[in-house]
Amino acid sequence: MAILTLPVVIVATEEALSAVPRDLRLASAALGATKFETIIRVVLPQAVPGILTGAILAVSRGAGEVAPILFTGAAYFLPKLPTAPQDQFMHLGYHVYVLATQSPDVDATRPLLYSTVLVLLILTFALNATAIWVRSRMRRRFAGAH
Amino acid sequence: MTTIQDTQHAPGTLTVQDLSVHYGPKQALNPVSMLIPGHKVTALIGPSGCGKSTFLRSLNRMNEMILGCKVNGKVELDGEPIYGAGIDPVRVRRRIGMVFQKSNPFPKSIFENVAYGLRIGGINDKQDLSEKVERALTQAALWDEAKDRLGESALGLSGGQQQRLCIARALAVEPEVLLMDEPASALDPIATAHIEELIHELASRYTVVIVTHNMQQAARVSHHTAFFYMGDLIEFGATNTIFTKPQQSKTEDYITGRFG
């Protein structure tokens, strides 16, 4: 999953880095800054909002992707939480599917089903909201007064 | 080689010998030799694409930031070479500062913009920093307008103020030479007048080399003028002479507005 969402993070990072105006790099160089100093002091601080938003969005997107993990590590049901990276795990999206279709007693599992969906929705919504909040906060920091 | 005898030994003198610049296979500047006198304003004029900005950028090795650019020849600042093995372009740029056509303040506070070069240079003492920032802003004629809002974002300043901030930022690291690439071309007449006045004052402490498209501006602010055309240095001399009795017919054609 981490590898699958990597492209999203890389693209977001690349865009955020290239969105930093060349003028600023030149200005920094003209003041006697080395490449490294320019990257640390000028390019990265400007690009961080973009990179962070990309990363958070990638995580929330990853939460929604079921197909790749069905074949790798998602279990039908586990009574305990996974503890090591190699352990099998349960997946919210897959769990919804299991509860809705595979249960012998549909009425009994309905409350469970709805609460699982709610958890998934809240999680995705919270992650996206964090991304938006981070971005707007950073933007304000660069645009306005301290 | 064009020399100006009386100011030859002033500090901050740049000696340029057979300097030529290629962008890939294309030659942008044919070998140029000239002596830019210290503590004077030298204007570089000429039509677009004549090599004057290229020439300016090669004086503090900013051309190296452009891919495929190759510089040949010698440049010396007070006898010390700018190009050569073992010479760090970063150190060169501390001695020869630069102001760009478009003002480009960092998205930081006014104070931090001016302090940037100082911090890079390893100055972290608060007292020292604020003294140096105040001095730079005063020299750039921005202190009175900015002193009550040092903590505010530099992007809140007007265009002319931003350009003066960029000048202050360049002055803060105490360079010996200040290169300016059309510093007033994006500004209104009043802001331009401010900058021109400033350039005049700066000449008492710094060697100023300014590229300009505006010939009245060159005539107003500079002591010496160099005319570039098609990658060649056509004529270089006292501004008065260039504008009243040019030696070359091309120079005369250009300053009288017959082409360009």
Residues 24-63 of chain A with CB under 8 A from chain B are 24-34, 37, 41-42, 46
Q: Check residues A139 and A112 and name the one with the higher pLDDT.
A: A112
Rounded mean pLDDT, A60-88? 72
Least confident segment among A49-53, A67-71, A123-127: A67-71
- Mutation test of the interface with chain A: which of B65, B112, B157, B166, choosing the one with the most A Cβ atoms within 10 A? B65
For chain A, counts of helices (H) and of strands (E): 7, 0
Measured CA to CA, the distance from residue A50 to residue A70 in angstroms comes to 31
The pLDDT assigned to B235 comes to 93
Mean pLDDT score, B98-123: 91
pLDDT exceeds 90 at position B162: yes
Q: What is the mean pLDDT of the segment spanning B80-85? A: 88
The reported pLDDT for the residue numbered B184 is 87
Number of other residues whose CB lies within 10 A of the CB of residue B196: 20
Interhelix angle A106-143/A92-101, nearest 10 degrees: 160
Nearest residue, CB atoms, A42 vs list B93, B94, B106? B106
Nearest to A142 among B62, B107, B152 (CB): B107
Distance, in Å, from the CA atom of B194 to the CA atom of B141, rounded to the nearest integer, reads 8
Task: From residue B223, give the alpha-carbon distance in Å to each of B12, B217, B242.
Answer: 15, 12, 10
For B107, the closest of A28, A34, A46 (CB atoms) is A46
CB atoms near residue B194 (< 10 Å): 19
Residue A1 pLDDT class (50, 70, 90 cuts): low
pLDDT tens digits along B218-237:
999 999 999 999 999 999 99
- Nearest 5°: CA angle at B170, between B41 and B88? 95
Look at residue A4 and tell me whether its pLDDT is greater than 80. Answer: no
CB contact under 8 A, B151 and A146: yes
- Enumerate chain B positions whose Cβ falls within 8 A of a Cβ in A: 60, 62, 65, 90-91, 93-94, 97-98, 100, 102, 104-107, 109, 116-117, 119-121, 151-153, 155-156, 166, 169-170, 173
The chain A residue lying nearest B153, using CA atoms, is A145
Q: What are the chain B neighbours of A46 within 8 Å (beta carbons)?
A: 107
Size of interface A-B (CB pairs under 8 A): 73
Q: If pLDDT is split at 50, 70 and 90, which confidence band does B135 have? A: very high
pLDDT digits 0-9 by tens, A80-132:
777 777 777 777 777 787 777 777 777 778 888 888 889 888 988 898 888 88
Instruction: Say whether pLDDT at B6 is over 80.
Output: no
Averaged pLDDT, B80-103: 90
Across chain B, mean pLDDT equals 89
Give the mean pLDDT of B21-26. 90
pLDDT at B66: 85
CA distance linking residue A82 with residue A90, whole number of Å: 9
Residue B134 pLDDT: 94
Q: How confident is the model at residue B260 (pLDDT cuts 50, 70, 90)?
A: low
Task: Say what the pTM is.
Answer: 0.77
Helix (H) or strand (E) holding A17: helix A2-18
Confidence class of residue A146 from pLDDT cuts 50, 70 and 90?
A: very low
Q: Is the pLDDT of residue B179 over 90?
A: yes
DSSP character string of chain B = -B--GGGTTSTT-EEEEEEEEEETTEEEEEEEEEEE-TTSEEEEE-STTSSHHHHHHHHTTGGGGSTTEEEEEEEEETTEESSSTT--HHHHHHHEEEE-SS----SSBHHHHHHHHHHHTT---HHHHHHHHHHHHHHTT-HHHHGGGTTSBGGGS-HHHHHHHHHHHHHHT--SEEEEESTTTTS-HHHHHHHHHHHHHHTTTSEEEEE-S-HHHHHHH-SEEEEEETTEEEEEEEHHHHHHS-SSHHHHHHHTTS--
Angle at A101 between CA A100 and CA A106, to 5 degrees: 65
- Alpha-carbon distance B233 to B64, whole Å? 22
pLDDT digit string, tens, across residues B145-157: 999 999 999 999 9
Q: Is the pLDDT of residue B65 over 70?
A: yes
Contact B77, B87 (CB under 8 A): no
pLDDT (tens digit, 9 = 90+) per residue, B186-220?
888 888 888 898 898 899 889 999 999 888 899 99
Cα B12 to Cα A78, B33, B37, B76, B173: the distances in Å are 77, 17, 7, 10, 15
The percentage of chain B sitting over the pLDDT mark of 70, rounded to a whole number, equals 96
CA of B62: how far to CAs of A49, A86, A91, A117, B215, in Å? 29, 52, 54, 58, 25
Query: Using one digit for the tens of pLDDT, what is the confidence trace for B238-251?
Result: 999 999 999 998 89
What is the predicted pLDDT for the residue at B1?
46
Give the pLDDT confidence of B40-57 residue by residue, as tens digits: 999 999 988 888 999 999
State how far the Cα of B106 lies from the Cα of A42, in Å rounded to an integer: 7
Q: What is the layout of strands, in order, in the sheet containing B207-211?
A: B96-99, B177-181, B207-211, B41-45, B224-229, B232-238
> Given this model, what pLDDT does residue A143 score?
60
CB contact under 8 A, A33 and B153: no
Asked whether residue B112 carries a pLDDT value surpassing 90, the answer given is: yes
What's the pLDDT score for residue B39? 92
CB distance B151–A23 less than 8 Å?
no
Distance from CA of B53 to the nearest CA of A (A): 14
Residue A139: how many other CB atoms lie within 10 Å: 11
Contacts of A61 (CB under 8 A, 6+ apart): A5, A8
Across the range A22-30, mean pLDDT stands at 89
